[in-house]
Structure 1
């Protein structure tokens, strides 16, 4: 995948998620064809991990079903959890 194509794909993912969700922070990176999404927002408060994952997959479903995205790692945090994660894991 060319660098411009990859950058566009990352921006498309960010735009889809930011449009659909109220996120305080969003990181989308790629290594080859594997994408990693870190999403931080109050919208995850009180949701099970499965519901949090579903909240991320929802806006990306067209890209997943088309095969454009197939290897995705998703990590979701509330702002409080994210502060703790950064302290303990130096993300």
Structure 2
């Protein structure tokens, strides 16, 4: 599942540096992307959730901790 998550996030944030850790249905995600420049933290999380929302809805992902930051941070 880790590679699936990385691939999905890479599709949505092509210029990003992505780290995924976890197992089962609980994962920690770190996405560093210029897409987050000037974007408020809540909106950043919404952007990441949008990329994986189908997996959250169907239960493949249950608990997701997201750290979404811009390269300048």
| TM-score, structure 2 normalization | 0.91
Please report how far the alpha carbon of residue 23 of structure 1 lies from its aligned counterpart in structure 2 after TM superposition.
3.4
Q: Distance in 1 between matches of 2:24 and 2:56?
A: 16
Higher strand share: 2
Question: Match of 1:72?
Answer: 64
2:9 aligned with 1:17, yes or no?
A: yes
Q: Distance in 2 between matches of 1:64 and 1:30?
A: 15
Secondary structure class of the residue paired with 1:80: coil
| TM-score, structure 1 normalization | 0.74
Bigger radius of gyration, 1 or 2? 1
How many residues end up aligned between the 2 structures?
73
Q: Which runs of 5+ in 2 are unaligned?
A: none
Equivalent residues in 2 for 1:9-88 (5 A)? 9-31=1-23, 33-81=25-73
Higher helix share: 1
**CA RMSD, aligned part only?**
1.2
Please report how far the alpha carbon of residue 22 of structure 1 lies from its aligned counterpart in structure 2 after TM superposition.
2.8
